Amino acid sequence: MDMDIVFATNNLHKLEEIGALLGERFRLIGLKELNINGDIPEDHLTLEENASQKAWYIYDLTGRDCFADDTGLEVDALKGAPGVYSARYSMIGHPTFPEMEPAEGNIRKLLFEMEGKNVRNARFRTVIALVLGGKEYQFEGVVDGRITEVPSGAKGFGYDPVFRPDGYEITFAEMDLALKNQISHRALAVAQLVQKLKGM
């Protein structure tokens, strides 16, 4: 049986990644299709609270089962930053590189903050909040890796050019989407989401 599920995101890269991961049993509905434009509020201090806020916001607006993903890059040498502020990292405090695209500015600021640091461990963490029949469920996916010295690769999005997952010699931005989707933080969280949805 096919199932419609709304993905509460404005990020088309995420929509593509999760669309590929969900498979044919589920029809993913983006916000554009529902004529919902503009930013979804996400103003909390944790990924868990933000994912929840985004999912309930769209559920309350549409009455449809839906889920949201909040993702952060947590860098040990920066005490877990940018973390929940990953999307607007370069704009925090004194905006750095305001003339650049957000992703590029974020990467430039991250590499600047990491200059001279030998410990480069980091992890991507995704929290998915699913609102199904008025009840909420959460799923987490984590992938460990390292921040590279320079960006490389043009695939993927966001911080992908500077993140090399453990066990690989290439960054996420050098991987085909199929490989990123086998090992990524988002893939791990989505696998649990699919388990839940299949059980319905």
Residues that bind ligand ITT (CB under 6 A): 9-11, 14, 40, 42, 69-71, 86-87, 103, 106, 156-160, 172, 184, 186
SS3 167: coil
Q: Is 70 a catalytic residue?
A: yes
CB within 8 Å of 118: residues ≥ 6 apart:
none
Q: CB 84 → ligand ITT: shortest distance, Å?
A: 8
DSSP string, 162-192: GEEETT-SS-GGGS-HHHHHHHSHHHHHHHH
Residues 44, 53 contacting (CB under 8 angstroms): yes
Query: Between residues 52 and 71, which has the closer beta carbon with respect to ligand ITT?
Result: 71
* Structure tokens belonging to residue 157: 């999005």
Residues 125, 146 contacting (CB under 8 angstroms): no
Query: Between residues 161 and 197, which has the closer beta carbon with respect to ligand ITT?
Result: 161
Residues 123, 72 contacting (CB under 8 angstroms): no
Residues 24, 194 contacting (CB under 8 angstroms): no
Q: CB 102 → ligand ITT: shortest distance, Å?
A: 7
Query: Between residues 60 and 200, which has the closer beta carbon with respect to ligand ITT?
Result: 60
Q: Which of 2, 39, 65, 70 is catalytic?
A: 70
Residue, CB closest to ligand ITT = 158
Q: CB 117 → ligand ITT: shortest distance, Å?
A: 20
Q: CB 189 → ligand ITT: shortest distance, Å?
A: 11
Query: Between residues 26 and 171, which has the closer beta carbon with respect to ligand ITT?
Result: 171
Residues 173, 4 contacting (CB under 8 angstroms): no
Active site residues per annotation: 70
